Chain A
């Protein structure tokens, strides 16, 4: 049981390049999330999904796109990377949104944009 798996773990991009972060979960969770974590700030929600084929914007969605074609996968895309997108990105999943929706996080993807 792997839980939540993110790839890649590290990536360096040049400004203007594009890339996709992959997230896979094997817990049959309905909900999946992409967060970014920056020094001195709380986790900020980028986009989330409440089920296969559905996505929604979070707190900081600009510059990112997502897709959830399969229940177990949630992809985060950067179409034209900017230095402000240098961050650690965490994917998470949870079985439901009401009550104690405990999130299970992936190990994180550290992205540097030069």
Chain B
């Protein structure tokens, strides 16, 4: 079967750095996405990785290792507004998105 695993909840301090991990087992791979979802709102796109390595976009970076079935989202200089759920999703061989349950990130002052 297809499976996406990510931690249920993480806590970090304002100004710090946090890494949210995602491991996956899917039938085929056509890219990995990270979305941010604030409570009661819609998911919004953060990043896309299809090749191994690190993609940096401002305070957010995303890393992919296809051989390990592993990705992480790195958030630097945390701000209170980064409190949200972070969803990992993999595009499988049919280009269908398989979603993880999301990681709720709590930022403390």
- Give A contacts to B, CB under 8 Å: 4, 40-45, 58, 90, 97-108
Size range of the chain B interface in the assembly: 20 to 34
- Whether the pair A98, B43 counts as a contact (CB closer than 8 A) is no
- Identify which of A4, A100, A101, A107 contacts B41 (C-beta below 8 A): A107
Interface residues of B in 28-59 (CB under 8 A from A): 30-31, 33, 40-45, 48, 50
Task: Tell me whether chain A's interface is mostly helix, strand or loop, or mixed.
Answer: loop
- Cα–Cα, bound, A98→B93 (Å): 10
On whether the beta carbons of B31 and A100 are closer than 8 Å, the reply is: yes
18 more A-B residue pairs beyond the given contacts A100-B48, A102-B48, A106-B42, with a C-beta to C-beta distance below 8 A:
A40-B101, A42-B98, A42-B99, A42-B100, A43-B99, A90-B42, A90-B43, A98-B95, A99-B30, A99-B31, A100-B50, A102-B33, A102-B45, A103-B43, A103-B45, A103-B97, A105-B42, A107-B42
> Which residue of B is nearest A90, CB measured?
B42
The CA of A44 and the CA of B41, in the complex, are separated in Å by: 17
Contact of B4 among A40, A42, A58 (CB under 8 A): A42
CB pair B43 A42 closer than 8 Å: no
Q: Which residues of B contact A4 (CB under 8 A)?
A: 42
A-B contact pairs, 14 of them (CB 8 A): A4-B42, A42-B99, A43-B43, A44-B99, A45-B96, A99-B30, A102-B33, A103-B45, A104-B45, A105-B42, A105-B44, A107-B41, A107-B42, A108-B40
